[in-house]
Amino acid sequence: MNSLSGRNRHLESVISILLLSTLVLIGLLVFIKQFDADMGRFGIDTANAGPLLEQAESKKQELSLDALVPDDFKKFSESQTYGPENLYEKINGKAPLYTESGFEKLFTQRFINKDDDSLWMELFVFDMAAVRNAFSTYSVQKRADAQMLTLTAPAPFYKTSNGAYFVHGRYYVELVGSTESTTLDKAMTVIAENFASRITVDYEKITELALFPEKDALPGSFKLYLANAFGFDGFNDIFTSRYNLSDETITVFLSKHSNPQDAQASVESYYTFLIENDAADKPTANSTLKDIGAKVLDFYDTTEIIFSTGPYVGGVHEAENQKAAEELATRLFDKLSNAAKTIK
């Protein structure tokens, strides 16, 4: 009899412990749920909002892609996110341009005019991981019919007949409209300005752009080739700018290396590459280029010039007019040699 009562008391104790544990677990779950905010209740899509939401959370702001559009536009589709593994699904054929330049994510969404459903546009936000990557992607595929716009921010910024393109920190952004429209143009500009003003980024100044001579330069013509510039796999981080001189458009290039020895080695490597591809040395009457040992070559009836000064490599690429090419190469050398003198 006493043995049975003891077993009953033991069973009651076990049941009590189980019930208490269950109540504690329920209480803990309720506590956690209270602090696990459902952002969807506030109109923010946490699965698709992308870097804008990440930025908003880190800065304690509330922001989503559709918060960037003017009042006369509304969301036309949900935001979508793509990574390196599936970027081709969105931009088939062009994905390598991005993935080989540091691409991390693409966030895209469509918006439509509230009064005219023929006016819609798609916003593409490419997270390129670094300022230089974003600028390179922007610059190397810049449209031929580009019109540079002067905005305080974002900059650089250009538009085409039905699109707008700009860089803001690590982000390269495209806006592509359904048609040519002043209404779409204005909306795209508003989105660009909102993006620049509301998204705080770490801004790394690209100092090489200031090394190009200013005279005769074509505005907005800068490009950055992260690798394989001019078809040479040893030419990396090459900046170019175009000039209009003697009724000819000429490409000038430069790059900065870690030391003068590396710069000179780059000159020799590129020179060898050109010679191996049927280029030939050509005479020059330019005393400056002679004195610095610049390489002047004939390359399929165009003039190629390359030299180094300090840690810098500079030159002219495929110019039709040798005299104009030599003048620009001399201007570039003066600018780079002065910059080299300031490096300790």
Torsion of CA 40, 43, 47, 49, to 10 degrees: -160
Please check whether residues 148 and 92 belong to one and the same domain: yes
Report the alpha-carbon angle 214-258-269, nearest 5: 85
Please check whether residues 126 and 187 belong to one and the same domain: yes
At residue 119, the pLDDT reads 98
Q: Which of these, 292, 306, 309, 308, lies nearest to 343 by C-alpha position?
A: 309
Please check whether residues 50 and 90 belong to one and the same domain: yes
Whether the upstream peptide bond of residue 283 has omega within 30° of 0, thus cis, is no
Q: 282 with 298: CB under 8 angstroms?
A: yes
Please check whether residues 244 and 332 belong to one and the same domain: yes
As for how many domains the chain has, the answer is: 3
Single-letter code of the amino acid located at 330: T
Please check whether residues 50 and 178 belong to one and the same domain: yes
pLDDT digits (tens, 9 = 90+) for 8-39: 455 455 455 555 555 555 554 444 444 333 33
Last residue of a domain, one of 165, 198, 231: 198
At residue 53, the pLDDT reads 41
Please check whether residues 169 and 316 belong to one and the same domain: no
Q: Decide which of 9 and 280 is more confident.
A: 280
Which CATH number characterizes residue 275's domain?
3.40.1000.20
Compute the average pLDDT of residues 148-152.
84
| Structural domain boundaries enclosing 311 | 207-341
Please check whether residues 47 and 179 belong to one and the same domain: yes
Banded pLDDT at 288 (limits 50, 70, 90): very high
Last residue of a domain, one of 198, 230, 265: 198
Please check whether residues 228 and 186 belong to one and the same domain: no
Banded pLDDT at 146 (limits 50, 70, 90): confident
At residue 21, the pLDDT reads 57
The Cα 55–Cα 166 span in angstroms is: 19
At residue 36, the pLDDT reads 39
pLDDT digits (tens, 9 = 90+) for 125-134: 999 999 999 9
DSSP secondary structure letter of residue 217: B
Q: Decide which of 221 and 64 is more confident.
A: 221
Please check whether residues 273 and 166 belong to one and the same domain: no
Which CATH number characterizes residue 101's domain?
3.40.1000
Please check whether residues 211 and 233 belong to one and the same domain: yes
Last residue of a domain, one of 198, 229, 246: 198
Q: Which of these, 26, 172, 32, lies nearest to 106 by C-alpha position?
A: 172
pLDDT at 82 over 80: yes
Please check whether residues 17 and 66 belong to one and the same domain: no
Residue carrying structure tokens 């992308």: 50
Compute the average pLDDT of residues 215-240.
95
Banded pLDDT at 172 (limits 50, 70, 90): very high
Compute the average pLDDT of residues 91-118.
95
Please check whether residues 54 and 173 belong to one and the same domain: yes
Question: Got the DSSP string for 245-268?
Answer: ETTEEEEEEEEE-SSHHHHHHHHH
Banded pLDDT at 284 (limits 50, 70, 90): very high
pLDDT at 270 over 50: yes
